[in-house]
Amino acid sequence: MTGKDAGVSDGGGITGHLVRNDFRTALSEADAVFISTAPMISDIDIYREQVDLTIKSGKKLFVTETLSQLLGDSCSTKGIEVLGYEDVKINPDRFTNLLSLPVPIIFVMGTGENCDKFTLELKLGKFFKSKGYHVLQYGTKPFSRMFGMKTVPRLLFEDRSVKSKI
């Protein structure tokens, strides 16, 4: 894929953005940078180097909350935007029963990680918007805001009873 258009990877249209395996080259072509953790990269120094290069370039940098925690205090003091789940306070006494909603709701669920749930979420949103529907979309990734979605509340990932999450 290196040197080919990024749209080729998923059978989409030509994007004008080439796949690069050299971070410095890609950085020189980018307007902003988003860095997330990847299971195949366990060396924190690789992330630190990419963050430092991006900061030195003067480009806007977005990182996931997970990466920010791995890097420690360096993110908060360097003007890096950290993307994570929303903290919401829910008063459980306010909700005593399920409400009937007059609009359809679509829920995307998968059997585990890396089964393209987020890609499906993006495509569903795009499809319904193209048909003229008003779409309120919650994304399952901490960086969903970058795609115009709200993020699901952090409490959905906490170890607590299902009843307290609904």
109 CB-near residues (< 8 Å, 6+ apart): 117
In this prediction the pTM is 0.64
Digitized pLDDT (tens) for each residue of the chain, 166 residues in all: 777 877 777 777 787 877 788 889 889 988 899 888 887 788 888 888 999 999 999 999 998 888 888 888 666 667 788 888 776 666 666 666 777 888 888 888 777 777 788 888 899 999 999 999 888 888 888 888 888 888 877 766 667 665 655 5
